[in-house]
Amino acid sequence: MATVDKHELLFSTDLKYFKALQLIGGKSIFDRYKIAKNNIIEKYIDEKYRNFLAYPVKVSDKIEFHGIKARIDAPQILAELQGNDVAKYQNLKTETLQHYQGKIDELKNAGKTKEAKFLTDAIKSVDDRFVFCYDDIVVLGAWGMQMRENVREDITEIRKKAPRKPKEPKQQPIPEPEPPIIDEPQPKPEEPPVNPFTVRFNAGENGTLNGTSEYSKFAGDTVHSNEIPEVQPKGGYEFVDWDKNPNDYRITDDTEFTAQYREIPQVVSIDTDKESWWSRFWGAGKGCLNWLLLLLLLALIFMVIWCCLLKKCNFNFCGCDCEETTVVVPKSTVSPCNAQVKSGGDEGYVGLFEMGQPSGSFVFEYNTQNVPDKITVYDGADTSGKIIFTYEGSTGTTRKAFVNFNKPTITVEIIGLGTQTYWEFLINCP
C-alpha cells in the first residue's frame, strides 16, 4: 500500500470496474494530478475546497484514493449517511461543485483551456458511493472515471476499505467463558442504482442547439446553468423559454427539456408616398371653381367645429348628431394578428384584426412616442363593441398590456389629441 504525506487511504479499487477514464495528451488524468495540484488546484481553487479531489495512486491495474487526514470525525460514505448529516454534506457537495464550475468558467474566459479541461474532466461524474464526508469537508474518490454498467459485484467489493493497523493487545486476565451470543443477520442497505438517468435537451423544429444536448446524471443530482446549451432560433423565430425550467432541476428520472419559440411578427408599413385624394381634387379645377370649393370647405369646417368642439356631438351633412356613432370598418382593412401597424400621417386610424380564435387573451404593444393620442380597442368588428382597452397620452416608449377578448374580431381606433400624431402598435396572436 502506498503512503501519501498528510493523507490517509480512503479506499482502493480495480480499474476493470470502470470506463471512460479521462485522458489528457495521451496520459490519464491521474498521471497529471501532481502537476495539476501545484499549477491548478493550489493556484485557482479556494483553500476550503482544495482537498475535494482525493489523491490518486495508481499501482498496476489498481488505484488507491487518499484523503486529507481526519482530525475529528471518521470518514463516512455520503450515500450511507443518515439523519441531519445527509442534508449537511449534500449541501457541502453542491457548494463545492458550484465553486469548481465557477472556476472552470473563469479559466475558459481567460483562455486557460488546459486548466479548465482538467477540472471539467475531474468532476464530470460524481457518484455519492465514492464521496467521503468528515470534518465538514467532502472528498471525491473515483473521480475522472465512471463505473461500468451492469457490474454484478457488490459495492463493498468494488470499494475496498482501507486496512486498519491492529492495535497491540494488552495483557489481560483470561475471563471465564460466557455463553456465545448469536447475532441475527442484518439486511444490507439498498445501494443506489448503478445506471444514471439521461438528461436530454430538444431543439424543436425552429432552432438548433449550441453545446452538449445529452448527458447522464444520477438521482438527486441537479442541472446547473452552465450545462444548459445555447438555443439558436431559425430565421423568423425567437426563442421564448424551455417547456420546463432546467436551471437547478433535480433529477429523479430520464428527463427531456424542449425549446419553445414564437414567430417574429412581420412589420406592416402604411404607404405615405401616394398622392392624397384632396391634392388630386384641388388640382382638377382652376379659377372660380377653386374659390367656390374653398368657401364650401370653410363652411364645412365651421359646422364641424360647432358640432364636435362646442356641442361635443358628431357631424353629418344634415346637422349635428349628438347620439353615439358607430364606425363600421370595411372588410378590406382586416389584418391578421401578429401584424405591426405604424402611423402614416396626422390622420386617425380604424382597423380590424382577426384573432384566430373566438376568445382568449393577447399582448397589446403600443407606442405613441412624445405626441399624445387616444387608443381604444373594441371587442367586435366595429366601434359599437365593448371597450376592452383604452389609453390617452404619450408613452415615450413601447408599453405592453394583457387584453381579454370574447369575439374572433377586434377593432382598434386611434385619434390624435393634438395637431400632430405619431404612433405604432402590435396585436400579438393569443
Q: What is the CA radius of gyration of the chain?
A: 38
Q: Which amino acid is at 95?
A: E
Task: Please check whether residue 96 is in contact with residue 142, taking contact to mean a CB–CB distance below 8 angstroms.
Answer: no
> For residue 345, how far is the Cα from the chain centroid?
42
Read off the pLDDT of each residue in 314-327 and give the average, rounded to a whole number.
Answer: 54
Report the candidate in 98, 99, 123 with the shortest Cα–Cα distance to residue 36.
123
Residue 326 β-bridge partners: none
- Could you give the CA distance from residue 64 to residue 69 in angstroms, rounded to a whole number? 15
pTM: 0.39
pLDDT in the model for residue 277: 55
Start-to-end CA span in the chain (Å): 70
Q: Show the cell assigned to 44.
A: 485557482
pLDDT in the model for residue 365: 95
148 contacts: CB under 8 Å, gap ≥ 6: 17, 18, 19
Report the candidate in 105, 136, 110, 109 with the shortest Cα–Cα distance to residue 123.
105
pLDDT in the model for residue 31: 75
pLDDT in the model for residue 332: 46
3-state secondary structure of 51: coil
> What is the DSSP-derived secondary structure letter of residue 141?
-
Q: Tell which CATH classification among 2.60.120.290, 3.40.50.1000, 1.10.1740.110, 2.120.10.30 matches the domain 331-427.
A: 2.60.120.290
- What integer best gives the mean pLDDT of the chain? 82
What b/e string do you get for 77-110 counting C-beta neighbours within 10 Å, with b at 16 or more? bbbebeeeeeeebbebbeebbeebbebbeebeee
pLDDT bracket for residue 342 (50, 70, 90): confident
3-state secondary structure of 298: helix
pLDDT in the model for residue 44: 94
Q: Show the cell assigned to 198.
A: 439521461
- 203-238 pLDDT, tens digit each: 999 999 998 999 888 888 999 999 999 999 999 999
pLDDT bracket for residue 149 (50, 70, 90): confident
pLDDT in the model for residue 147: 84
Q: Show the cell assigned to 338.
A: 401578429
Residue whose C-alpha cell is 432552432: 207
Pairing of strands 255-263, 197-202: parallel
With 60 as the cut, is the pLDDT of residue 356 above it?
A: yes
pLDDT in the model for residue 165: 44
- 38-48 pLDDT, tens digit each: 899 999 999 99
Read off the pLDDT of each residue in 22-41 and give the average, rounded to a whole number.
Answer: 77
Q: Show the cell assigned to 112.
A: 486557460
- Could you give the CA distance from residue 268 to residue 289 in angstroms, rounded to a whole number? 39
With 70 as the cut, is the pLDDT of residue 20 above it?
A: no
pLDDT in the model for residue 271: 55
Q: How many helices (H) and strands (E) does the chain have?
A: 7, 29
- 249-280 pLDDT, tens digit each: 999 999 999 999 999 998 766 555 555 555 55
With 80 as the cut, is the pLDDT of residue 310 above it?
A: no
pLDDT bracket for residue 168 (50, 70, 90): very low
Task: Please check whether residue 265 is in contact with residue 342, taking contact to mean a CB–CB distance below 8 angstroms.
Answer: no
E strand or H helix that includes residue 86: helix 84-109
Q: Measuring CA to CA, how many Å separate 51 from each of 21, 121, 135, 331?
A: 21, 17, 12, 75
With 50 as the cut, is the pLDDT of residue 167 above it?
A: no
Lowest-confidence region among 74-83, 337-346, 413-422: 337-346
CA dihedral 98, 102, 104, 108 (to 10 degrees): 150
Read off the pLDDT of each residue in 140-155 and give the average, rounded to a whole number.
Answer: 86
- 46-81 pLDDT, tens digit each: 999 999 999 998 888 889 989 999 999 999 999 999
